[in-house]
Amino acid sequence: MRVLFITGNHLRHRFIVSQVCKHCEVTGWIAEVREPMLLTPPAGLSEHMTHLFRHHFALRDQAEKEFFSGRDELPAKLPILSIAREELNSSKVYDFMRQHPADVVISYGCHKLTPDTLMALPVARFLNIHGGLSPWYRGTTTHFWPVYFT
């Protein structure tokens, strides 16, 4: 089975690509350049919420470094397209997908893919790995809000 990845560029994303490379033919990796691991709290949060926000993302950063660092070796010849968020659903991505066709496209930790992106490989199956409690918490910080509201 040939697999193409569309993910973020954090350690956890690189790790999953590296692990699948051990078991499947990975034809390429589109890595969206994501925000820093330590996010700035949104404006207008209470002092308590600001503290909780910073605490959550500091622990996430620490856990990701402890678990994934050094466990993310990729094949030397793996084609990688590093892109900005604004380029995620662009002709640059469509061209890369067509140059590196796959049976399955796995998206994980990237922003929303448009129907045009999904049609760039019309015969491929798409699998979205979502870290949050979809559909209640959509977007990119999907682990913070469920913890806060429990």
| Average pLDDT along the chain, 150 residues, taken 10 residues at a time | 96 95 97 90 91 91 93 93 97 97 95 93 91 62 68
Q: Residue 143 has what pLDDT?
A: 67
Q: Residue 134 has what pLDDT?
A: 60
Q: Residue 130 has what pLDDT?
A: 75
> pTM here?
0.86
Give the CATH number for residue 51: 3.40.50
Domain holding 124, by residue range, is 2-148
Structural domain total, the chain: 1
Omega before 75 cis (within 30°)?
Answer: no
The long-range contacts involving 42-47, CB below 8 angstroms and separated by at least 24 positions, are none
Q: Residue 42 has what pLDDT?
A: 86
